């Protein structure tokens, strides 16, 4: 699940903290990095669980309305499409889902007001109305509803974002990218497989976990060397006026240049320029672009960087 885009992002964040505070050893910082990956994976399961518990919340509301003494005909015979969503039922019974919950229970049941309010926002949405009124009563449409809900309702929900930020500092910037992994999970589920479905693993393979470790460790060990090299390319700038996050982003990029000869130079440049746009100042993307391109050209002239 944790791809190289997220790995680079986490490496930059934890490296920034390491160089800023200087209160950890390399091994302690590395443990924090991998803990941040575990938290990202926890958020993945928390979003999956949110869909299940929103379904359960609506089921309880429907049942309470049906049991009212003066229930309306609509309340007595409700549309159960949302409550009986076939994708949610598959997810609920997925072995990977149940196994994770046995090892590390994640739940929203301690946030009943949030669940009720969020459920109500979904029920009042145009997306919900279209889904409930649709003539397409299919497994595919059940999946499509949740894919649309993730993009339009969950990923953009301000109350959810605030709640996640309160729960963990590691989730401050993760919601959007982890939502893409949940979407990928829905897409890989199939009606034909019945019960046996698979969730995404924390790392796709051992290579990605090793990439994270090597990139991070190399950045920390050679950080002073990389920073000195960068400062030679920004002589016309007062170093104190350059955002420290920009410096760290370029240090990690230099680490990737040196440590991973199989990764194309342009891929590295593009990834860290995007990180500068996301995590630093409004001018950082352009600044990091110019400096990293100059550094890459110089490394090629020195024969240090031989890849394209």
State pLDDT tens for residues 189-212. 999 876 678 999 999 899 999 999
Residue 27, pLDDT score: 97
Q: Supply 44's token pair.
A: 């993945």
CB-count exposure of residue 248 (10 Å: 0-12, 13-18, 19+): buried
pLDDT per residue as tens digits for the range 44-85: 999 999 999 999 999 999 999 998 888 898 889 999 999 999
- The model's confidence at residue 222, banded by pLDDT at 50, 70 and 90, is very high
Residue 240, pLDDT score: 62
pLDDT per residue as tens digits for the range 79-135: 999 999 999 999 999 999 999 999 998 999 999 999 999 999 999 999 999 999 999
Residue 56, pLDDT score: 97
Among residues 215, 258, 163, 245, which one has the least CA distance to residue 5?
215
Instruction: Kindly write down the DSSP assignment for every residue of the chain, as one continuous string.
Output: -B-HHHHHHHHHHHHHHHHHH--S-HHHHHHHHHHHHHHHHHHHHHHHHHHHHHHHHHHHHHHHHHT-TT--HHHHS---TTTT-HHHHHHHT-HHHHHHHHHS---STT-HHHHHHHHHHHHTSHHHHHHHH-S--SHHHHHHHHHHHIIIIITT-HHHHHHHHHH-GGGTTTHHHHHHHHHHHHHH--STT-S---PPPSBSSHHHHHHHHHHHHHHHHTHHHHHHHHHTT-TTS-GGGS-HHHHHHHHHHHHHHHH-TTS-HHHHHHHHHHHHHHHS-TTHHHHHHHHHHHHHHHHHHTTS----
Among residues 212, 215, 239, 213, which one has the least CA distance to residue 227?
239
CB-count exposure of residue 142 (10 Å: 0-12, 13-18, 19+): buried
Among residues 205, 249, 187, which one has the least CA distance to residue 223?
249
Residue 194, pLDDT score: 66
pTM of the full structure: 0.92
pLDDT per residue as tens digits for the range 225-279: 999 999 888 876 666 678 899 999 999 999 999 999 899 999 999 999 999 999 9
Q: Which domains does the chain have, with CATH numbers?
A: 11-188 (no CATH), 222-301 (1.10.940.10)
Residue with tokens 């393979």: 205
Residue 305, pLDDT score: 80
Sequence-distant (6+) residues with CB within 8 A of 46 are 106, 108
Based on C-alpha coordinates, what's the Rg of the chain? 24
Mean local confidence (pLDDT), 164-171: 93
Residue 38, pLDDT score: 97
Residue 219 confidence (pLDDT) above 90 = yes
Residue 304, pLDDT score: 80
Q: Give how far the C-alpha of residue 6 lies from the chain's centroid of Cα atoms, to the nearest Å.
A: 7
Residue 147 confidence (pLDDT) above 90 = yes
pLDDT per residue as tens digits for the range 284-303: 999 999 999 999 999 999 88
What burial letters (b/e) apply to 209-243, b meaning 16+ CB within 10 Å? bebbeebbbbbbebbeebbebbeeebeeeeeeebb
First to last CA, the chain: 28
Q: Supply 48's token pair.
A: 């999956």
Mean local confidence (pLDDT), 22-38: 96
């Amino acid at each position: 699940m944790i791809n190289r885009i997220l790995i680079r992002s986490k490496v930059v964040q934890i490296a920034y903290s390491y160089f800023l505070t200087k209160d950890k050893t390399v091994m302690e910082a590395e443990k924090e990095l991998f803990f941040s990956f575990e938290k990202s994976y926890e958020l993945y399961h928390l979003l999956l669980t949110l869909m299940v518990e929103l379904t359960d919340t609506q089921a309880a509301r429907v049942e309470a309305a049906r049991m009212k003494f003066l229930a309306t005909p609509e309340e007595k015979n409700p549309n159960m499409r949302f409550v009986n969503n076939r994708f949610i039922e598959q997810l609920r019974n997925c072995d990977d889902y149940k196994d994770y919950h046995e090892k590390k229970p994640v739940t929203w049941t301690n946030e009943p007001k949030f669940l009720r309010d969020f459920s109500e926002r979904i029920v009042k949405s145009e997306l919900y109305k279209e889904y409930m009124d649709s003539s397409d009563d299919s497994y595919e449409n059940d999946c499509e509803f949740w894919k649309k809900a993730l993009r339009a309702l969950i990923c953009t929900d301000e109350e959810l974002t605030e709640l996640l930020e309160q729960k963990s500092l590691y989730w401050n910037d993760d919601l959007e990218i982890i939502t893409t992994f949940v979407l990928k999970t829905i897409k890989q589920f199939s009606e034909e497989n019945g019960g046996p479905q698979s969730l995404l693993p924390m790392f796709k393979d051992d290579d990605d976990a090793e990439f994270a470790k090597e990139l991070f460790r190399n950045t920390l060990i050679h950080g002073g060397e990389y920073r000195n090299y960068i400062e030679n390319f920004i002589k016309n700038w007062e170093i104190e006026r350059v955002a420290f996050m920009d410096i760290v982003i370029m240090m990690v990029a230099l680490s990737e240049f040196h440590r991973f000869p199989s990764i194309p130079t342009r891929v590295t440049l593009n990834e860290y320029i995007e990180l500068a746009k996301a995590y630093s100042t409004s001018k950082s993307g352009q600044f990091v672009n110019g400096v990293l391109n100059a550094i890459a050209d110089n490394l090629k002239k020195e024969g240090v960087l031989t890849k394209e």
